[in-house]
Structure 1
């Protein structure tokens, strides 16, 4: 599985996506703070964090008995690159459609 596949697979779950968003907006957080406001059990949050770590989207730092998590924005760059590639394709396709429609305003083109 490519990194991009792992990234999308990990982020496809709404809970995992919300955990990553929380880390991106709030910075490094302890596991307990990540579990707050999430409608799953603490063990489930732990499993979600494990999936996100395996995908390389977050990192864990251990300090004593506490575990702190932070997002890896560089891991999300692959999504940005993929999105920009597809954006360019669709922008070109829509430009061609605009040109075609301008040539045949009645919409009679085959």
Structure 2
């Protein structure tokens, strides 16, 4: 079964992005980068109770999925959010969101039509 390719990351697919987002630590890393901008790995590590190699593995998964960039500066490595793959996730989720919004609107209409007791 073929998976949809992400046009912003040739050779990778949406499954890589979903796999990266499946982990709460990686989602928290993305949140930190969204809210605080580019940060060195040590500054990111200060937010987690884990060994540095474990954090580096999470960052590698995010980088491989195209969700972050890594920029070496001297002896440090800076990470920044790369949000483009999230657009593809939102595009994939969109039809399901519209489906449920429609169903909930229908339910609201039915409930609004019931007599008050």
- Common fold, TM-score beyond 0.5? yes
Q: TM-score, normalised by structure 2?
A: 0.77
Spell out, residue by residue over 1:5-53, the C-alpha distance to the aligned partner (whole angstroms, 9 max, x if none). Answer: 2212111111111111101110000010010120111110011100110
Instruction: Name the count of aligned residue pairs.
Output: 105
Q: TM-score, normalised by structure 1?
A: 0.81
Instruction: Tell me the equivalent position of 1:8.
Output: 18
Spell out, residue by residue over 1:47-100, the C-alpha distance to the aligned partner (whole angstroms, 9 max, x if none). Answer: 110011011110101122211000011121122223332111111223344455
Unaligned segments of structure 2, at least 5 residues: 5-12
What is the CA RMSD across the aligned residues, in angstroms?
2.0
Q: Distance in 1 between matches of 2:74 and 2:30?
A: 23
Unaligned segments of structure 1, at least 5 residues: none
Q: Secondary structure at the match of 1:61?
A: strand
**Which one has the largest radius of gyration?**
1
Instruction: Tell me the equivalent position of 2:66.
Output: 56
